[in-house]
Amino acid sequence: MVKKLLTRYLKRRKLLGKNALQQRYLVIDLELTGLDAKQHEIVSLAWVIIDNQCIKMSESQHLINKDVKSLAQSPVFHGISDDAIAKGQSLNSILTQLSRHFSDCILVFHNAMLDWGFLKIALKNANITIRPKLIIDTLHIEQKRLFHHSTEIKQDDLTLNACRTRYELPSYHCHHALTDAQATAELLLAQCHQISRGKELKVGELT
């Protein structure tokens, strides 16, 4: 057990010292029936891959969970209907496909506390034990940047759209997991270039 933990620690330490702009990232977004991971459900899950600063939309996925018991307000916010649910995939199948990327990608979320909180429970319930090698949160990156510049952080300053606006990225107004995953991928690249300013950027600077 100790040897396993030490190996994991050393791998993480080595990864943190690598060039952030040369890494492969899996940018994930979830559509949910609510904000409580213990009682609400994952409606759909989307991901976009960034490889060596290139967003690979041809490798993106948006998968709907056919196991959802109650859509609640999801049709209002996300536009996902009962018909779309019926044509979806099992959550276990979706998580299996997602977890295949864990060994070669750094995971990225905007508000990892929320989305990864749901995924951790879902992965445990699906008996999927593979762990991501690292998780990066664009919300946390932006929070650190604003704090470093002594900028007052207001209630809505860290939303995905507000963060994108600071980098003059276009607004995406629809609530859709794939659109938000793409928007988060674009934000991460903008943050990386703003932080690095032409110099080498270590992965550890994004954590």
Distances in Å between the Cα of 70 and the Cα atoms of 33, 43, 46, 73, 89 are 8, 9, 20, 9, 16
The mean pLDDT of 14-37, rounded to a whole number, is 95
pLDDT tens profile 55-105: 999 999 999 999 998 776 555 456 687 888 888 999 999 999 999 999 999
Q: What residues contact 170, with CB distance under 8 A and at least 6 apart?
A: 164
Distances in Å between the Cα of 14 and the Cα atoms of 8, 9, 19, 95, 122 are 10, 9, 11, 27, 29
pTM exceeding the 0.85 threshold for the entire prediction: yes
Does pLDDT of 121 surpass 60? yes
- What pLDDT is stored for residue 79 in this prediction? 65
Residue bearing the bigger pLDDT, 68 or 136:
136
CA end-to-end span of the chain:
26
The mean pLDDT of 4-15, rounded to a whole number, is 82
- What pLDDT is stored for residue 159 in this prediction? 95
Cα gap 72→172, rounded to integer Å: 23
- What pLDDT is stored for residue 72 in this prediction? 64
pLDDT tens profile 30-69: 999 889 999 999 999 999 999 999 999 999 999 999 999 8
- What pLDDT is stored for residue 76 in this prediction? 46
pLDDT tens profile 163-180: 999 999 998 876 789 999
Is residue 60 within 8 A of residue 191, CB to CB? The reply is no
Q: What residues contact 94, with CB distance under 8 A and at least 6 apart?
A: 45, 63, 65
